[in-house]
């Protein structure tokens, strides 16, 4: 997927024409040792346009792939792209924190590979009427699932100044959050929020020109914050990460691509938690039940190299982490909902 900071162009054509998967080879190479197992099952938690899943199905002829996405349009486009693989691919309309329920419904007890390519998809950015891109004027929608109720316009028109400030500061890491929130509330007293261009203009007016140099569009952080709020992205990710780890069979692997520090922080915390002994440091012998249940496959977060950036500019902010399951999760390390 991608951060929401693109130029707003709208390519036409099918899913393969409209999407270049980020770090495709690296993701598949990291998953490969687990996917080579007989009867392996792979879950793409954020299917999008299906580019990563297409490569997995092509490269591993024995793998069955499950693609989860909350965006019905993405599921349809990816489904057409992957139709040639027949019943080896199953698309599911769901939010990816429901991975456990999805697999239970399909009678799949565990899987060998999980990919999470976070952020907003190329499809959502390129469809200007969905309001994700600040580069084109559009309705303030930003719903990844068009059947959901909350839109960006509703957030701007109904949240109080304190909540707007919190969202902009926490989710957008916006230095001028309070000033922007105050201006948003003042404008809606006479003119309700409807279109993205008006929001871009307001944010630009709130941020001093001297601080805007070399920072790209000044509305980037505000749009990110609204998108995260509308779609509950961080709450979903916080539930999805442990659920995905629990779905892994021993030897299974998880790969996560994040596009901003908030996503990467949650990912790092969950994977490091599993790769760290839970035994008190003063114990002379580490009990078996306290040994790590994950091993990290990357040293820190990997970034796109020059070749990847040239091939796919949308990979500029990607941070990739991966881990492998060593053993079942000890009961005391599971969240209450997982026990």
Query: Is 260 annotated among the ligand-binding residues?
Result: no
Six-digit token pair at 107? 């009678």
Query: Is 141 annotated among the ligand-binding residues?
Result: no
Query: Is 96 annotated among the ligand-binding residues?
Result: yes
- The alpha carbon of residue 32 and the mean position of all alpha carbons in its chain are separated, in whole angstroms, by 21
Go through 158-175 and write b for each residue having 16 or more CB atoms within 10 A of its CB, e for each that does not. Answer: ebeeeebbbbbbebbebe
List all residues 6 or more positions away from 305 whose beta carbon is below 8 Å from its beta carbon.
none
Helix/strand/coil for 61: coil
The DSSP secondary-structure symbol of 201 reads H
∠ CA 95-100-101 to the nearest 5 degrees?
70
Contact criterion met (CB below 8 Å) for 254 and 44: no
Cα 288 from Cα 45, distance rounded (Å): 31
Query: Is 69 annotated among the ligand-binding residues?
Result: yes
Cα 50 from Cα 75, distance rounded (Å): 8
Contact criterion met (CB below 8 Å) for 115 and 41: no
Cα 267 from Cα 253, distance rounded (Å): 14
Query: Is 50 annotated among the ligand-binding residues?
Result: yes
Contact criterion met (CB below 8 Å) for 301 and 264: yes
∠ CA 319-44-91 to the nearest 5 degrees?
150
Alpha-carbon torsion, ordered 182, 187, 193, 196, to 10 deg: -80
Cα 152 from Cα 273, distance rounded (Å): 34
Residues in the chain: 339
Query: Position of tokens 């039940």?
Result: 289
Half-sphere exposure in the Cβ direction for 172 (13 Å, CA): 29
Binding residues: 50-52, 69, 96, 117, 124
**Residues within the annotated binding site for S-adenosyl-L-methionine?**
50-52, 69, 96, 117, 124
């Amino acid at each position: 997927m991608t951060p929401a900071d693109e130029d707003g162009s709208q390519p036409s054509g099918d899913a393969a024409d409209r999407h270049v998967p980020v770090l495709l080879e690296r993701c598949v190479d990291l998953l490969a040792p687990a996917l080579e197992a007989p009867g392996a099952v792979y879950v793409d938690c954020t299917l999008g346009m299906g580019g990563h899943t297409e490569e997995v199905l092509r490269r591993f002829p024995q793998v069955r792939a499950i693609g989860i996405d909350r965006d019905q349009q993405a599921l349809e486009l990816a489904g057409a792209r992957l139709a040639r693989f027949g019943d080896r691919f199953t698309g599911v309309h769901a939010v990816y924190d429901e991975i456990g329920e999805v697999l239970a419904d399909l009678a799949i007890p565990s899987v060998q590979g999980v990919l999470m390519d976070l952020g907003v998809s190329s499809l959502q950015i390129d469809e200007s009427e969905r309001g994700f891109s600040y580069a084109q004027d559009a309705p303030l929608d930003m719903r990844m699932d068009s059947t959901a109720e909350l839109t960006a316009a509703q957030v701007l028109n109904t949240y109080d100044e304190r909540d707007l400030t919190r969202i902009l500061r926490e989710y957008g890491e916006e230095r001028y959050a309070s000033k922007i929130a105050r201006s948003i509330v003042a404008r809606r007293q006479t003119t309700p929020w409807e279109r993205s261009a008006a929001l871009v203009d307001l944010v630009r007016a709130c941020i001093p020109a001297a601080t805007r140099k070399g920072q790209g569009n000044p509305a980037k952080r505000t749009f990110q914050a609204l998108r995260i709020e509308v779609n509950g992205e961080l709450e979903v990710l916080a539930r999805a990460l442990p659920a995905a780890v629990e779905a892994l069979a021993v030897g299974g692997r998880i790969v996560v691509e994040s596009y901003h520090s908030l996503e990467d922080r949650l990912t790092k915390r969950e994977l490091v938690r599993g790769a760290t002994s839970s035994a008190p440091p003063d114990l002379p012998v580490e009990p078996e039940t306290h040994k790590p249940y994950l091993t990290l496959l990357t040293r820190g977060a990997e970034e796109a190299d020059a070749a990847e950036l040239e091939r796919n500019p949308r990979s500029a902010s990607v941070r990739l982490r991966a881990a492998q399951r060593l053993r079942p999760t000890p009961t005391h390390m599971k969240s209450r909902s997982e026990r």
